[in-house]
Amino acid sequence: MMANLTRRTMLAAAGAAVTMGAKAGAPLTAGEVVERIKAHIGAPTRAKTVDGIIAGDATTPVTGIATTMMATLAVLKRAAAQRLNLIVTHEPTFWSHQEDVSVVQNDPLYHEKLAFIKDNKLVSFHFHDHWHDLMPRDGISEGLMRQLSWTNFVDKNDPSLFNLPPTSVDKLTRYLRDKLHAATIRTIGNPDMPVRRVAAGWGYASGLPPAEFANSDIDVLIVGETWEWGMQEYFADLVTSGRNKALIMVGHINSEQWGMEYCAEWLHGFVPEVPVKFLEMPEPYWTPHP
């Protein structure tokens, strides 16, 4: 019988044991929620990761959970007002992917934000690497596909590719703007160009597309953000060369935060004791109207 136990079965059993233990004893703590998360990812725990409790105490009793793209001060204040004291954030709390606070030790804003977290008994859990490791599919990508209603269009051989119904660059840009709540979306390419096949690089897209991209059947690349002197220049040159290609940049936050909405749904499945709510992070940029 033991031989028939798969790794995922054992992880699920471990998660169930954690859940039963928390119900039977003391109030659920932040640390216990983190352990449940680890047990339900379905992938090995990384030896080196940015994930972990960044601020607050793991022994803090949880009154509610907020999932969000980034634990900004505005998001923390909204969470505290709703008694959601465990913040599961995809991006950093203190402005560095590695959460290196050594560079902000003398910054009054750092101390103000940290004091707010402590005074309100909040706990900030950075949940980046392992959410991308979620099995059977990256949690961020899953959330984006759901938000865009593209689940049925994903390429069977590559989850980053989509075969869309016929549209145009202009219509696709408008669709992304509306569905992702992107106030400052930017596009390079002919607005009237027909679109069928799309590649997505949610979040930060570094470097350049593969060498074969220029002559591939991919019409549009969608990214969150990228280098203006790199990929954006590359696409400008692609268009000038006469190739029917386009780049759509929706912003890092807008391109990933819907994965954290899905995270709230996912957490509901194994953290039934407390409310779990997604806190959308409004895009911080604005564009002057004509």
Whether residues 25 and 109 fall in one domain: yes
Taking 80 as the threshold, does the pLDDT of residue 257 lie above it? yes
Rounded Cα–Cα distance for residues 110 and 192 (Å) = 47
**pTM, whole model, 2 decimals?**
0.88
Indicate whether 273 belongs to any domain.
Answer: no
Whether residues 130 and 150 fall in one domain: no
Rounded Cα–Cα distance for residues 83 and 12 (Å) = 29
Which of residues 110, 136, 162 is at a domain's end? 136
Residues with Cβ within 8 Å of 107's Cβ and at least 6 positions away in sequence, in order, are none
Rounded Cα–Cα distance for residues 244 and 193 (Å) = 7
Residues with Cβ within 8 Å of 227's Cβ and at least 6 positions away in sequence, in order, are 206
Per-residue confidence (pLDDT) for residue 110, from 0 to 100: 97
Q: Could you read off the pLDDT of 187-241 as tens digits, one per residue?
A: 999 999 999 999 999 999 988 888 889 999 999 999 999 989 999 999 999 999 9
CB count within 10 Å of CB 165 equals 7
- Per the prediction, the chain carries an average pLDDT of 91
Taking 60 as the threshold, does the pLDDT of residue 16 lie above it? no
For 276, phi then psi, to 5°, come to: -130, 125
Rounded Cα–Cα distance for residues 85 and 53 (Å) = 13
Whether residues 25 and 112 fall in one domain: yes
Which of residues 136, 167, 193 is at a domain's end? 136
Give the residue among 177, 180, 178, 175 at the shortest CA–CA distance from 140.
Answer: 180
Q: Could you read off the pLDDT of 18-60 as tens digits, one per residue?
A: 444 454 568 999 999 999 999 999 999 999 999 999 999 999 9
Percent of the chain with pLDDT over 70: 91
Query: Which pair of tokens denotes residue 25?
Result: 């004893």
Whether residues 43 and 122 fall in one domain: yes
For 29, phi then psi, to 5°, come to: -105, 165
Q: How many domains does the chain have?
A: 2
By residue range, what is the domain housing residue 48? 2-136
Give the residue among 34, 50, 105, 82 at the shortest CA–CA distance from 276.
Answer: 82
Indicate whether 274 belongs to any domain.
Answer: no
Whether residues 131 and 182 fall in one domain: no
Rounded Cα–Cα distance for residues 24 and 153 (Å) = 44
Q: What average pLDDT score do residues 240-249 get?
A: 97
Q: Higher model confidence: residue 24 or residue 276?
A: 276
Whether residues 60 and 160 fall in one domain: no
Whether residues 102 and 37 fall in one domain: yes
Per-residue confidence (pLDDT) for residue 4, from 0 to 100: 38
Indicate whether 70 belongs to any domain.
Answer: yes
Whether residues 165 and 85 fall in one domain: no
CATH number, domain containing residue 101: 3.40.1390.30
